[in-house]
Amino acid sequence: MDFAYLETLPSPRLLATHLPLSLFPKSITSGCGCRVVYICRDPKDAFVSRWCYDNKVHRGRSVDLKTAFNMLSEGFSGYGPFWDHCLEYWRESIAMPDRALFLKYEEMLSDPVKYVMKIAAFIGVPFCTKEEEDGVPEEMVRLCNFEMLSSLYVNKTGEFFRHGNMVIENSAYFRKGKVGDWGGS
């Protein structure tokens, strides 16, 4: 895959990935000014969410829940073993707190405004006093919450990617957005 187009994006760039930190170029963590925000999720919720996503994307050709769980337990995942993935980001956040921020999804949902402000400050674009007084962080949370994003027309009808029989509809990225839902799936 050619990523040369990334160089054409205006700076600062914001990119999202599920890749393990160990697969990033060394320049990412060695002083290029790049910052990494990692969001860890309860492993049970993450597993169920991923399994449901795979079933949507692969349209019934995904493995059954028990097989998928056994594969995850044995460390077989598209992103590497779950605990290794989380631990390498956590360790980086301890070793380089100015370059790596490790967050927990469940904590973010408990106080989203606090975490919007924390992330903004971490990436070097903190809210000014006037923005805080005007409720900009709260408005960002409102505009970016699960209900708002999942109800957008483009996320209900659009496609993110199509390759042969594999179709990733934008709606595949939205399920429930709830903490602790693994038991109800």
* pLDDT tens figures, 67-94: 888 888 887 777 788 889 899 999 999 9
Quick one: CA dihedral 81, 82, 84, 89, positive or negative? positive
Q: How many C-beta neighbours within 10 Å does residue 15 have?
A: 8
Q: What is the pLDDT of residue 159?
A: 67
Question: Is 24 part of a structural domain of the chain?
Answer: no
pTM above 0.85, yes or no: no
- Whether 58 is in a domain gets the answer yes
- Domain of 70, in residue numbers: 35-110
Flag whether 174 is in a domain: no
Structural domain count of the chain: 1
Nearest to 19 by CA among 42, 44, 1: 1
Helices 43-58 and 65-73, axial angle in degrees (round to 10): 130
- Pairwise CA distance, residues 73 & 128, whole Å: 45
At 121-160, the pLDDT tens digits run 999 999 999 999 999 999 999 998 878 787 777 777 766 7
**Catalytically annotated residues:** 18
Answer whether residue 94 is part of any domain.
yes
Does residue 90 lie in a domain region?
yes
- pLDDT of 148 reads 79
| Statement: residue 106 has pLDDT above 70 | yes
Q: What are phi and psi of 79, to 5 degrees?
A: -115, 15
pLDDT at 86: 92
Does 80 reside within a domain? Answer: yes
pLDDT exceeds 80 at position 16: yes
pLDDT band per the 50, 70, 90 thresholds, residue 112: very high
